[in-house]
Structures are given as C-alpha cells and as structure tokens.
Structure 1
Amino acid sequence: MVNCNDTIQLPDIRVNNRAVMNGKQGTKSVTWRSAMVGVAVSIVEYLARLQAHARNRHAIQMLDNNMLKDIGLTRADIDNELSKPFWTGLPPRG
C-alpha cells in the first residue's frame, strides 16, 4: 500500500509534507516556533564565536617572546591587540 502523505508527483504539481507547490518553487509558511529556534541558534553561534575569540586572545597572550618571534609578532603587537575591546576583530559570520 502506498502512503500518499509522503510524496505525490504529478507533471506540474508536487505535494510534499502537506505543502502544495505549484511550478518550480513554492513557499512554506514559517511558524513562530521555527523563527524563535533560528534566533536561538544564531545567538548560540555568536556566543560560541565570542568564546573562541577570547580563547585565542588568551592563548596568544601566553606565548613567550621567542614563540612570538617565530610567528612574526612582537610583544608590543600583542599588547596592542589585547588593549582593544574583546568584540572587535571577530571573524565574519559564515
């Protein structure tokens, strides 16, 4: 027996998961729950990036002068970077 609720395909009309789509593209309404989940995920991703950025700043602060010389930085470069607010210099979202 075929379950018609899963997928019905006709030449110009497709029905998937109870959303009717005419032609090539269709729109499915966004519920407030899915919108809130999207916002929550964005906030968690942003906080994770802030934490990773803080972790990297702390790690580079712990390097000694010889290690900094190996990567082409000086202690003054590090002090200049650490004097900036923590939220500056975040990598772009992506």
Structure 2
Amino acid sequence: MCSGEETRKQRRRRVLKGATILTGIANSEIKCTVRNMTSDGAELQVVVDARIPDEFLLYIPIDGIGYKTVVRWRRADKLGVVFRGTEPKPNWHYG
C-alpha cells in the first residue's frame, strides 16, 4: 500500500524507541528503531540489507510488549507495519 493516500485511523505519534524484530527463524533477532507509532501500527527504521519476513514479533523493551506484526510497505531502510495482537516476550530473547 504505497498509493500516498492517508488510510490510517489514527495519526501516528513520533517516538524514538529501540526495538527488536524476532523472526522465529533459528531465534533470529534484528535490531531496529520505532520512529512513529499508533495502537494499530508503526514505522520502523531498519538496516537497508536486513532480510525481514512479512510477519514477525516486534519486541519493544521499554514498553515490555511483543507485537504480532505484519509488513504493509517497505522503502529502503523503513517498514510500515500493522499490529495484529500482542504476546509475551519469548523466553529465548535476552533483551
């Protein structure tokens, strides 16, 4: 969804939170930064060449929440994601 039309129900709040993308593939972790966020989704800044699946768990340590996440769009070093629920931090994640 890259049409440029605003389709969000809520305006995103600008934030700067460290987070980890947990893919579940061999307990893989990818560091990222949450740039803005609503209760429904977020914009993430990631490393350009990071291999990120279309669905993953986004863990935000400062919030203590793991968000079940689906990618809506990708641009260079940014991802737009939608939250599909929450779950506890996996016990194998050290963060």
TM-score, normalised to structure 1's length?
0.20
Rg larger in structure? 1
TM-score, normalised to structure 2's length?
0.20
- Higher share in strand: 2
